Amino acid sequence: MAFYGQQIIPAAKHMKQFESILESNYQYGVFLDTHVAQLRSLYQMARGREKNMLLHADLVQGLKNDEYAAQYLCQEIKPFGIISTRAGVITTAKKKGILAIQRLFLLDTIALEKSYALVEKTQPDFIEVLPGVMPHMIAEVNERTGIPILAGGLIRSVKDVEMALAAGATAVTTSNKNLFDHYAL
């Protein structure tokens, strides 16, 4: 299984990476670390190249990551999907018909159990597990929730990608250009 046919979802931390996604054959990508004033033009550029971009709502500078911000993003920017650690943002995205990806940081057992409770509440379309270099945790979260998993964070090599996918991840999000070049469609 793959995320709409992609095993890799390239993530842009800066304009050069975004331009690389625009030039690639990837149809889906992720915006990380953007500024609210740039969003409209970035999405216009992406749509002009038939790219469906996910937006990490928690990393939009100049915008609070709450339900009101999520409403603004869904109504005005209309991203293909929203990634967030916040339950209210995920719930709002789902209500607005935007793909909702709940980001979970698996730091310890307490964080894991809180994450399961959060996912039960929000019922996201996908879960992004961080760090993505823990195949056994990807498998556990996938099995326990039944929700498709994206693996992200600290993915540095082809072996890391392959292990995440073998553990049940639908796809891997990465800002590592070498990896999105390696898996280019």
Tell me the CATH number at 79: 3.20.20.70
pLDDT at 185 over 90: no
Mean pLDDT, the chain, rounded, equals 97
- When divided into structural domains, the chain yields a total of 1
Q: Average the pLDDT over 111-138 and give the result.
A: 98
Token representation of residue 121? 């509440």
Domain membership flag for residue 53? yes
- Whether 3 is in a domain gets the answer no
Residue 1 lies in a domain: no
Tell me what pLDDT residue 1 has: 66
Query: How far is residue 185 from each of residues 108, 116, 182, measured CA to CA in Å?
Result: 36, 34, 9
* Structural domain that includes position 90: 8-182
Contact assessment for residue 36 and residue 63, using Cβ atoms and an 8 Å cutoff = yes
Q: Calculate mean pLDDT across residues 114-133.
A: 98
Say if pTM beats, i.e. exceeds, 0.85.
yes
Tell me the percentage of the chain whose pLDDT exceeds 90: 99
Average pLDDT of the residues in 56-77: 97
96 found inside a domain: yes
8 A C-beta contact, residue 157 and residue 136: no
88 assigned to some structural domain: yes
Please write down the HEC assignment for all residues of the chain. CCECCECEEEEECCHHHHHHHHHCCCCEEEECCEEHHHHHHHHHHHHHCCCEEEEEHHHEECCCCCHHHHHHHHHHHCCCEEEECCHHHHHHHHHCCCEEEEEEECCCHHHHHHHHHHHHHHCCCEEEEECCCCHHHHHHHHHHHCCCEEEECCCCCHHHHHHHHHCCEEEEEECCHHHHHHCCC
Cα distance between residue 42 and residue 34, in whole Å? 9
Type of residue found at 93: A
